[in-house]
Amino acid sequence: MTASADFPQADHRAAAALCVLLGSPDDLEDADVRDQAERARDLLRSGAGADELTACYRALDTALRRAGDARGLVNESRSARVPGISHDIKVAVCPGPAQCTRVERARDLLPAPPCAVNGTRMRKRRLGPGQ
């Protein structure tokens, strides 16, 4: 059994992961997981304190792991599917009129790499999950 996640107070990632969990009927087949998830939802709706939410998130994380979900509650693979949230990365793309398919990761503080074909620097842009 893997260790439970450490939930800082007012963890917004846990709330987003709970939203995804509640929207996935397959993940709620276990009665203990379903009960803990509904309890966490009710606490969020009622404006419960951070300590109470953290304890509830821990209980839900434990229930998920006991049910065989090694991700627990907060995990990138679960929270990456939250509707309305996209994880973009900055990339360098071809700057020329005849665009090639060269794409390289672009660092924020470094200039874009040079394009050998066009003789200029590549241009930076954000690349979303659907691209």
Residue 4: per-residue pLDDT? 47
Percentage of residues in the chain with pLDDT exceeding 90? 16
Residue 20: per-residue pLDDT? 80
Residue 63: per-residue pLDDT? 92
Radius of gyration of the chain (CA): 21
Mean pLDDT of 11-22: 80
Could you report the per-residue pLDDT of 21-71, keeping only the tens digit for each? 888 888 888 999 999 999 998 998 888 888 898 899 999 999 998 988 888
Residue 85: per-residue pLDDT? 53
Which of 15-19, 39-43, 71-75, 113-117 has the largest mean confidence? 39-43
